[in-house]
């Protein structure tokens, strides 16, 4: 879950990391007032959940409060990579002597956090790693044993940094490592970490991602930073259809049914489980089908959840039929899913045999499930029909 820059900086500030003077503007008047308080040149930065702000013109410099107010109005409407501006950060602008890069992320292969440091910050670090590998260090560290500042020191010194800079940078980078571990972050990045012409070291821009699974653990921090529990912070915000799906899934704690992602096709999908859904979505598209949604049934959801998921999908404009498909199931009961989708169809005023294009869920309790489907005349198949073939049948039926 991505943080806005101002939220990342608020977290850094709580941990005593050095930052320039700044304020968050929600109006042009705010921007004017904050620039006046800073009393010198300022930078105005759009708060969006995306990189590429500079290129999009969503970062501007102002010498006077009036200019800051004018820039505020220019920045707010700019959409960066589909992301809208939440507010504008107004920050003091000082001359920069040198830019550094420091980031910590997880390395899934080593199963450890990795600290990446460079004395060539400011620009794309991947490019630096290719063109100047000696200026980028990668240092894995333990998430289990105590860590001390020497890890940060070694990482920084490995890029050739020495003297006062090494001693000033070490505590900042070490703090970043601690923040990363303490808050279950998946990315903690400072770029650039700058040495100013007046000798100060400050965090000019920061980027934080928190593990979605850890939001509960850090509820208090998120509340204090003003991050609402309803904010998904995905690449795009949840649609009304998706929000309703999440509500259905949250009704009870039995299994998963309802975590939908909306697409604009005409074939509704009640599919599962984790890997099966990915496989089936590909298969539908490969056959030229246009999915109306992605979803994932997992574990053993209640009849009610499956039923309401079915109703939700059938209520979506443009949906003509639903395909119900899963891999061979181990702990999901075929009969419960069958009951749920049939009930959902009937409650939507549809005949299950017309609206259910195919039912392909083999596995636990399949005999009981197939009996119910047969009773309602629904087209079903067992494991002798592959997932790919089942998807093809559903698409053919929709188009035929």
Distance between CA atoms of 214 and 200, rounded to whole angstroms?
Answer: 34
Stretch that binds other proteins, among 94-102, 197-205, 321-329, 348-356 (CB under 8 A): 321-329
Residue whose CB is less far from other proteins, 81 or 347: 81
Angle at 273 between CA 269 and CA 277, to 5 degrees: 45
329 binds other proteins (CB under 8 A): yes
Residue whose CB is less far from other proteins, 131 or 143: 143
Give the shortest CB-145-to-other proteins separation in angstroms: 8
Single residue of 22, 46, 118, 327 touching other proteins by CB under 8 A: 327
Residue whose CB is less far from other proteins, 182 or 353: 182
Stretch that binds other proteins, among 161-169, 308-316, 323-331, 368-376 (CB under 8 A): 323-331
250 binds other proteins (CB under 8 A): no
273 binds other proteins (CB under 8 A): yes
Stretch that binds other proteins, among 18-26, 96-104, 221-229, 328-336 (CB under 8 A): 328-336
Give the count of beta carbons closer than 10 Å to the beta carbon of residue 390: 26
# of chain residues touching other proteins (CB under 8 A)? 52
Angle at 231 between CA 116 and CA 266, to 5 degrees: 105
Residue whose CB is less far from other proteins, 18 or 363: 363
Stretch that binds other proteins, among 68-76, 196-204, 206-214, 312-320 (CB under 8 A): 206-214
Give the shortest CB-40-to-other proteins separation in angstroms: 37
The binding track of 91-120 with respect to other proteins, each residue x by CB under 8 A or -, is ---------------x-xx-xxx-------
Quick one: three-class SS letters along the chain? CECCHHHHHHHHHHCCCCECCEEEECCHHHHHHHHHHHCCCEEEEECCCCCCHHHHCCEEEECCHHHHHHHHHHHCCCCECCECCCCEEEEECCCEEEEEEEEEEEECCCCEEEEEEECCCCCCHHHHHHHCHHHEEEEECCCCCCCCCHHHHHHHHCCCCCHHHHHHHHHHHHHHHHHHHHCCEEEEEEEEEEEECCCCEEECCEEEEECHHHCCCCHHHHHHHCCCCCCCCCCCCCCHHHHHHHHHHHCCCCCECCCCEECCCCEEEEEECHHHHHHHHHHHHHCCCCECEECCEECCCCHHHHHHHHHHHHCCCCCCEEEEEECCECCCCHHHHHHHHHHHHHHCCCCHHHHEEEEECCECCHHHHHHHHHHCCCCECCCCCCHHHHHHHHHHHHHC
Give the shortest CB-250-to-other proteins separation in angstroms: 14
Residue whose CB is less far from other proteins, 28 or 358: 358
Provide the CA 231 distance to its chain's centre, in angstroms: 10
Residue whose CB is less far from other proteins, 74 or 385: 385
Residue whose CB is less far from other proteins, 352 or 362: 362
Residue whose CB is less far from other proteins, 281 or 359: 281
Q: Name which of residues 5 to 64 contact other proteins (CB under 8 A).
A: none
Q: Name which of residues 163 to 202 contact other proteins (CB under 8 A).
A: 181, 184, 186
Distance between CA atoms of 298 and 198, rounded to whole angstroms?
Answer: 58
162 binds other proteins (CB under 8 A): no
Give the shortest CB-326-to-other proteins separation in angstroms: 7
Give the shortest CB-286-to-other proteins separation in angstroms: 8
Interface with other proteins (CB under 8 A): 106, 108-109, 111-113, 142-145, 181, 184, 186, 211-214, 217, 234-236, 261, 272-279, 281-283, 285, 294, 296, 299, 326-331, 362-364, 383-384, 386-389
């Amino acid at each position: 879950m991505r943080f806005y820059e101002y939220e990342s900086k608020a977290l850094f500030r709580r941990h005593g990391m050095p930052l320039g003077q700044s304020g968050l503007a929600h109006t042009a008047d705010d921007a004017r007032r904050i620039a006046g308080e800073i009393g010198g040149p300022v930078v105005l930065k759009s708060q969006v959940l995306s990189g590429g702000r500079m290129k999009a013109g969503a970062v501007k410099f102002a010498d006077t409060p009036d200019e800051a107010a004018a820039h505020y109005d220019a920045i707010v409407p700019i959409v960066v990579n589909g992301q809208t501006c939440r507010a504008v950060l107004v920050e003091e602008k000082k001359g920069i002597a040198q830019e550094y890069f420091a980031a910590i992320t997880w390395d899934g292969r080593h199963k450890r956090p990795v600290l990446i440091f460079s004395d060539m910050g400011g620009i794309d670090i991947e490019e630096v790693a290719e063109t100047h590998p000696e200026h980028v260090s990668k240092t894995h560290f333990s998430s289990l044993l105590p860590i001390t500042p020497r890890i940060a020191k070694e990482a920084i010194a490995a890029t050739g940094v020495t003297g006062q800079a090494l001693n000033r940078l070490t505590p900042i980078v070490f703090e970043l490592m601690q923040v990363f571990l303490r808050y279950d972050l998946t990315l903690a990045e400072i770029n650039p970490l700058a040495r100013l012409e007046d000798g100060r070291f400050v965090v000019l821009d920061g980027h934080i991602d928190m593990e979605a699974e850890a939001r509960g653990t850090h509820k208090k921090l998120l509340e204090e930073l003003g991050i609402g529990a309803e904010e998904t912070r995905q690449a795009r915000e949840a649609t009304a259809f998706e929000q309703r799906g999440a509500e259905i899934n949250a009704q009870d704690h039995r299994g998963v049914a309802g975590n939908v992602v909306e697409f604009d096709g005409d074939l509704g999908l009640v599919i599962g489980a984790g890997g099966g859904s990915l496989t089936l979505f590909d298969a539908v598209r490969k056959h030229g089908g246009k999915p109306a949604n992605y979803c994932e049934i997992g574990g053993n959801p209640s009849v009610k959840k499956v039923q309401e998921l079915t109703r939700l999908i059938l209520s979506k404009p443009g949906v003509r039929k639903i395909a119900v498909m899963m891999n061979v199931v181990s702990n999901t009961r075929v009969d419960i899913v069958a009951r749920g989708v049939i009930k959902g169809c009937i409650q939507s005023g549809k005949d299950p045999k017309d609206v259910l294009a195919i039912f392909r869920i083999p596995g636990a309790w399949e005999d009981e499930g197939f009996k119910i489907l047969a009773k309602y005349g629904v087209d079903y198949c067992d494991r002798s029909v592959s997932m790919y073939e089942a998807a093809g049948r559903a698409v053919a039926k929709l188009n035929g």
